[in-house]
Amino acid sequence: MAVESVAPPATPRATDARSILRKVGLFTYLRGWKVWSSYRAQVALTIVSWLVPVFLYFVLAGFLDSSGAVLPSLNGTPYISFFVIGLAFQGFVSNLVGLLAQRIRNEQMMGTLELIFLSPTTPGGILVYSSIFGVVLNIIAAVVILGVGVGLLGVHLAVSWGPAILATVLLAVSSTGLSLVAAAFILWTKQGNPVALFFATFTQFFAGVLFPVAALPSGIQWLANTVPLTFGLDALRPTLLNGASLASVAPALGWMAVYAAITIPLGLWLFGRALRLTKIEGTVATY
């Protein structure tokens, strides 16, 4: 008599891993890619919004070159290469900072936010899963901008991959705290997101995106140190353009780690407090 083999029951750890992967797939593919790609006009306009600033500042770079204008502290880096790196990662970080707030706002408008927070998935898990597709889209945008810079504008990359990847990860992590603060604000106030708006505008002028921090008046250069993007660009430009070593960009990486250690706990506390208050007041579903 043949003995029928029985598969051993799945361990709790394996079950949890499958559940996490399933949620990642559902949030990223169904709620992310399927919804976003179904609006073709939005897709086209989004891609255009990635590319137009690149060519705009390319024209500006040509004007500066023809006029003989010189920007300080470029250290021999062509201005085209300087601003392409700046635009690629400024867009990445600005979208990341506004990402969670935008997700919450969308759920408020659709009337599904309360149902999501009542689901078995924890609020923290919902924030993480909801942001994955946005992060992937931001990475694609940065790659497209860099690709245009290299393929059409003559930017030359000499990438030191390890330090460059570490700098990108730390830049994303150090910006997460600001994203949580923005999410807490929109959860509480329902409309308006001054954190994301201020960050997008502020960083273009004070974080060394379009011109070096040294070009600012000396009395306000300290403002550049209030956002992680400044340190991120200090690490990314040399590692992407000059193949800089990990040791040479370690100070910038360290400052991003410090920024993350301060802002992420603050953002989590503010979001948790905003969620508790809206639940007490019964205003989670209002917008």
Q: What is the pLDDT along the chain (287 residues), one digit of tens a residue?
A: 455 555 555 566 666 778 778 878 877 887 788 888 888 888 888 888 888 888 877 877 776 665 445 555 677 788 888 989 999 999 889 888 888 888 888 777 777 777 777 777 777 777 778 788 888 888 899 999 999 999 988 899 999 999 999 999 999 999 988 888 888 888 887 776 777 777 777 887 888 888 888 888 888 889 899 889 999 999 999 999 999 999 999 999 999 999 999 999 999 999 889 888 888 877 776 76
Burial 184-209 (b: 16+ CB within 10 A, else e): bbbbbeeeebebbeebbebbbebbbb
Threshold 0.85, pTM exceeds? no
pLDDT at 61: 74
Enumerate the domain spans of the chain. 26-68+76-281
- Largest Cα separation within the chain, whole Å, is 92
Q: Which residues contact 48 (CB under 8 A, 6 or more apart)?
A: none
Structure tokens at 14: 């394996």
> What local confidence, expressed as pLDDT, does residue 163 receive?
95
Q: What is the pLDDT of residue 52?
A: 85
- Using one digit for the tens of pLDDT, what is the confidence trace for 5-50? 555 555 666 667 787 788 788 778 877 888 888 888 888 888 888 8
Report the C-alpha dihedral over residues 224, 229, 230, 235, rounded to 10 degrees. 170
145, 50 contact by CB (below 8 A): yes
- The pLDDT value recorded for residue 64 is 63
**CA separation for the pair 91, 99 (Å, rounded):** 12
| Chain segment 118-139, per-residue pLDDT in tens | 777 777 777 778 788 888 888 8
pLDDT of residue 68: 47
Q: How far apart are CA 206 and CA 201, in angstroms?
A: 9
